[in-house]
Amino acid sequence: MRSSIQSGLLLASLAAPAVSAERVLGAYIYARHGDRTAKILGNTQLTDLGYHEVFAAGSYWNKRYVATGSDKQIHGISDPIVVASQVNASAPSDAVLQNSATGFLQGIYPPAHDSANTTLGNGTVVDSPLNGYQLIQLQPIASGSNSESSSWLQGSTGCSKATVSSNNYYTSDSYNEMLKSTSSFYQSLSPVLNRTFSSEDMSFENAYTIYDYLNVGDIHNSSSEFPGKAKYMTDENKVQLLSLASVHEWNLAYNASDEVRAISGAVVLGGILDNFDQLVSTGGKKSILNVQFGSYGTIMSFFGLMDMPAASDSFYGIPDYASSMSFELVTNDTSSDFPSTDDISVRFLFHNATITGSDEPTVFPMFGEKTDLLSYNDFTSRMEQVAITSTSKWCDMCGNTDGSCASSSASSTENKSSSGGSGGISRPVAGVIGAMVTLAVILGLEALFFLVGGFRLAKRSKASPEMATASSVSSDKKA
């Protein structure tokens, strides 16, 4: 009897469908640079601490996505030797951001010791520099160049209407209220600011620049090098400085009533959508791991577009140095090498500051949803509502008519005229590279405008309640 029961249980277990293990099909990592010198002092440079931070962050993502044996290893990715076609990396033409990206990539694909030397035909052995350091090409992004030398997000976007929109914040009631209510706080810091800021510049108008200057000094300078450090850089003042800077920068980066203000984030989201569409359309043969570096302002703008504060008030805050996030394409389908879009989902992870030790990024729901996983079809639908997916769309939103926008406008006019005004010419959109058009090849619509910038902080992983409240109130006002 007992034997028959055991046999029955065995047969039942064999008949039961196997539980599918989740596979990661691809990932898009977006990261902030590491610790750097203060912006206001000029010639902004990545520090040794900053290089260490981004290398540590990259090393974490290596363990998650590249290392053999990881349950989150990207399906088909090469380990330990990089395959160039599998990885795409980019950063603006900016020393801090590009050097950060280089350090980060060294963490993702560290030196390959097995290929550290080469034997030539004549028997000569050539040792590889840096013990087998692997080279990953870094694509420069023209837009947003020198963004770490700019103290203001829109200063490097080149978007005319975005500049106007952000400037409107300075005439809003919420801004003027903050300017008045914080006046005494900033003036109280005069003893540690007066060597760099004039009295009239010590105000909420320069909230980020002041925070950045004092934060860098607090990290790098001893009390003897930073007179007044112990008295003025108290924990309470640090929280207040970050909270006010976060309110200020959030409102410059995003406004729910004026979508053009978040143009830099919209461009990044367009790039993510484009990459995933290419990856899916090629069955996982196109850039399965993407890495992009950018500024805190750009990150805040796409946090706004993705409604991330609905998941946590911490998304109102300025992300710390070396913060990183990832969009993962995942599936439970094991019936084919690459599944259909109906069997693919997207997950979003974020970690504020460098990922070290046993730290793990946190999974957050996107677009105000309650679930951590969003179906790929829903993800693309929501992204298309807020992302910039073509040059012409960027030009239309920004009101720019020069440069590539001039050729884009001329090409659109020509195509409309030749088609009798029917408007039947397709534009390059996310997921379509080199789109076939009906009458002619549209010129000048190839460049996606990726914008990036800066980060900061040491211990604070989320904005204070006061900051979150002030930010949520002010960001709802139309500037």
Domains and CATH numbers, the chain: 23-111+127-149+259-386 (3.40.50.1240), 172-258+457-475 (no CATH), 390-447 (no CATH)
Any residues with CB less than 8 A from the CB of 48 and at least 6 apart, and which? none
pTM: 0.81
Residue type for 75, please?
A: H
Sign (positive or negative) of CA dihedral 264, 265, 269, 271:
positive
* 179: pLDDT strictly greater than 90: yes
As a whole number of angstroms, the distance between CA 216 and CA 336 comes to: 51
With beta carbons less than 8 A apart as the criterion, state whether 326 and 349 touch: yes
Give per-residue pLDDT as tens, 250-274.
999 999 999 999 999 999 999 999 9
Phi and psi angles of residue 231, each rounded to the nearest 5 degrees, phi first: -80, -40
Average pLDDT, stretch 78-100?
A: 94
What average pLDDT score do residues 36-58 get? 96
User: Is residue 166's pLDDT more than 80?
Assistant: yes
Spatial contact of 309 and 113, defined as CB atoms under 8 Å apart: no
Backbone φ, ψ for residue 239 (5° rounding): -65, -45
pLDDT of 93 above 50:
yes
- As a whole number, the mean pLDDT across the chain is 83
Quote the CA–CA distance of 22 and 71 in Å, as a whole number. Answer: 8
Nearest Cα residue to 450 out of 177, 265, 189, 180: 265
Q: What is the largest CA-CA distance in the chain?
A: 92
Q: How confident is the model at residue 407 (pLDDT cuts 50, 70, 90)?
A: low
Count of alpha carbons within 13 angstroms of residue 403, beta-carbon side: 15
Residue range 295-353, pLDDT digits in tens: 999 999 999 999 999 999 999 999 999 999 999 999 999 888 899 999 999 999 999 99
pLDDT for position 420 = 42
Q: Is residue 153 scored above 60 in pLDDT?
A: no
Dihedral sign, CA of 205, 293, 92, 284?
negative
Instruction: Phi first, then psi: give them for residue 333, nearest 5 degrees.
Output: -80, 125
pLDDT computed for residue 127 by the predictor? 85
Residue 474: what pLDDT? 36
pLDDT tens by residue, 414-434: 444 444 433 333 333 333 333
The C-alpha atoms of residue 346 and residue 332 are separated, in whole angstroms, by: 12
